[in-house]
Amino acid sequence: MKKILLSLLIVFSVAMAHAQWVQQTSGVTFALSDVYFINQDTGFVIGGDNILRTVNSGQTWESYASPYFLSLMRMSFPTPETGYAVGLDLTTNKSTVVKTTNGGNSWANTNMNYNKWLMGTCFLSANYGFAVGEYGKAYRTTDGGLSWDSLVTGTNLNLESVFFTDSLNGIAVGGGLPFPALILKTNDGGNSWSEVSSGATNYLLSVYFPSPQIGYIAGWNGNILKTTDGGSSWTTQTPVDIYGNLDVFFIDDNTGYVVGGDEFFAGIMKTTDGGQTWVAQSAPVSAGMEAIYFINPDLGFCVGNLGTILKTTNGGMGFGDEDPAINVQIFPNPTADYLTISFDNVNADLAANISLCDAAGKIVYTTGVSENNQVLDLRTLKSGMYFMTVTSENHEYITKLIRE
């Protein structure tokens, strides 16, 4: 299915796009959890207790199999020579950090004296970095991983991802029952953390800042959050039509990607307007994606289940013929009672059904499309934010609307 996401605008002009991702030969079949490139030629992929390295931009991959029984989750390269991967030593059930100081030629495993699974890491220099994991655990090192300070986060919920924009300011995200979504912020290098209210109701999985003030979070059920003030406040963006474990990466303040999926579907979506709209990109595999990384606006890699490594050299876009632009109007928005959806040059294949879901992802309204100017009676809906989806056999459109 081709998918296009529409932003909250008076008029939407959208064209179909054909994506270009090419599968690489990884030589492995196990799930891959993270990818990181230090330049356009040299990059790393981790999964289980294996670390893969390429020195020719993904044409071939060499595998470093750890002698330890590990489950590696995320990695960070603060310098071309120094890199870290974090996870759990399944033999000792201890937090583990694997480190290289020679650009990946060799790796040393260090068991931390903690028994929590590490889920995320962020290093700002060869010596200074952070790791987060299960049950609200966060750690900091100032000596390249020789020792780690346990930080007090004030939560027992899982922390999945962490990102620091400088040595003092950082965001960690995660969740768990009974409060699924969790955002923590520090402005003193992790000495203290405060919870940031976002209104999100789904488990949060990944956080990324392309600049000190602009940041994005991805969570379950395709939820996307954005900050423009360094993480002090967050707003809900148009959700992406991807489920599973999402990862988010932005090239600049406005251009970014979200990947995810399940064992039967590889989801890749791109935005060029800061998350207002998302365009689905096709993938040549049926395996969920776990992580994505771009070296520049054109060259990127994503990895996932079944040893899958995908590469693009054009930002994932630009090949194939494009369908004519389709103009869609919705008005008024915000609305109090009735909403009109107007399709220009609509045909029976384009629009078949309309559904509305609330901010939690619950479908609260459905109807068929029978004419070019469709009027929706929204008087029974509560005030708040909703997402409208127009679906046919070959198209899917999603936009945000407000019920006053």
Contact residues for 234 (Cβ-Cβ < 8 A; gap 6+)? 183, 196, 198, 199, 200, 217, 225, 226, 227
Model pTM? 0.77
Give pLDDT, residue 393: 53
Q: What pLDDT, on a 0 to 100 scale, did the predictor assign at position 103? A: 96
Q: CB neighbours (10 Å) of residue 316?
A: 27
DSSP secondary structure letter of residue 55:
S
CA–CA separation, 193 and 172 (whole Å): 9
Please indicate, yes or no, if residue 26 is contained in any of the structural domains: yes
Q: Is the pLDDT of residue 10 over 50?
A: no
- Give tens-digit pLDDT for 295-305: 999 999 999 99
Beta bridge partners of 70: 89
For residue 1, is pLDDT > 60?
Answer: no
Domain annotation covers residue 5: no
Residue 249 covered by a domain: yes
Q: What letters, b where the CB count within 10 A reaches 16 and e where it falls short, cover 57-80?
A: bbeebeebebeeebbbbbbbbbee
Domain end (from 312, 343, 362): 312
Q: Are 163 and 217 in contact (CB under 8 A)?
A: no
Same-domain status, 42 and 137: yes
At residue 319, the pLDDT reads 35
Say yes or no to pLDDT of 341 above 90: no
- CATH of residue 33: 2.130.10.10
- pLDDT value of residue 47: 95
What does the mean pLDDT of the chain come to?
Answer: 86
| pLDDT grade for 367, boundaries at 50, 70 and 90 | confident
On whether both 253 and 192 belong to a single domain, the answer is yes
Nearest to 333 by CA among 4, 12, 5, 16: 12
Q: Taking residues 51-61, report their average pLDDT.
A: 96
Residue 319 resides in a domain = no
Residue after which a domain boundary falls, among 286, 312, 338: 312
Whether 263 and 356 share a structural domain: no
Quote the pLDDT of residue 57. Answer: 96
Q: Is the pLDDT of residue 307 over 90?
A: yes
What band does 42 get if pLDDT is binned at 50, 70 and 90? Answer: very high
Residue 47 within a domain: yes
d(CA 389, CA 387): 7
Range of the domain at 386: 326-403
Number of folded domains that form the chain? 2
How far the first Cα of the chain sits from its last, in Å, is 33
Arithmetic mean of pLDDT, 183-201: 96
Task: Summarize the confidence of residues 79-104 as an average pLDDT.
Answer: 96
**350 with 236, same domain?**
no
Q: pLDDT band for position 371 (50/70/90)?
A: confident
Same domain, yes or no: 251 and 344: no
Residue 323: predicted pLDDT? 36
One domain, residues 42 and 146: yes
User: Using only C-alpha atoms, what is the Rg of the chain?
Assistant: 22
240 and 378 assigned to the same domain? no
Residues 11-36 have pLDDT tens digits of 333 333 334 899 999 999 999 999 99
How many whole angstroms separate alpha carbon 398 and alpha carbon 376?
16
Cα distance between residue 51 and residue 61, in whole Å: 10
The alpha carbon of residue 47 and the mean position of all alpha carbons in its chain are separated, in whole angstroms, by: 18
Residue 3 lies inside a defined structural domain of this protein = no
Residue 227 located in a structural domain? yes
Give all strands of the β-sheet with 194-195 in edge-to-edge order: 158-164, 170-175, 182-186, 194-195
Q: Which stretch, 76-85, 322-331, 348-357, 375-384, has highest mean pLDDT?
A: 76-85
pLDDT the model gives residue 235 = 95
Mean pLDDT within 270-294: 91
Most confident of the ranges 17-26, 162-171, 377-386: 162-171
Q: What pLDDT score does 392 carry?
A: 60
pLDDT at residue 349 in the model: 45
Specify whether 189 is located in the same domain as 334.
Answer: no
For residue 288, what are the contacts with CB-CB under 8 A and spacing of at least 6? 244, 245, 260, 261, 262, 263, 265, 266, 267, 304, 305
Per residue in 211-256, pLDDT (tens digit) is 999 999 999 989 999 999 999 999 999 889 888 889 999 999 999 9
- Tell how strand 396-403 and strand 4-5 pair up: parallel
> Does 317 map to a domain?
no
Structure tokens at 19: 């994506």
Asked whether the beta carbons of 276 and 270 are under 8 A apart, the reply is no
Same domain, 171 and 203: yes
Q: What is the CATH number of the domain that holds 366?
A: 2.60.40.3080
pLDDT, tens digit (0-9, with 9 covering 90-100), for 58-80: 999 999 888 788 999 999 999 99
Percent of the residues in the chain that have a pLDDT greater than 70, as a whole number: 87
Residue 110 has pLDDT above 90, yes or no: no
User: Do residues 71 and 190 both lie within one domain?
Assistant: yes
Same domain as 306, residue 354: no
For the chain, the residue count is 404
Structure confidence at residue 113 (pLDDT): 83
342 or 23: which carries more pLDDT confidence? 23
Confidence of residue 177 (pLDDT cuts 50, 70, 90): confident
SS3 306: helix
Q: How confident is the model at residue 260 (pLDDT cuts 50, 70, 90)?
A: very high
DSSP letters, 82-149, are -EEEEEEETTTTEEEEEEESSTTS--EEEE-S--S-EEEEEESSSS-EEEEEGGG-EEEESSTTSS-E
Q: Do 286 and 342 lie in a common domain?
A: no
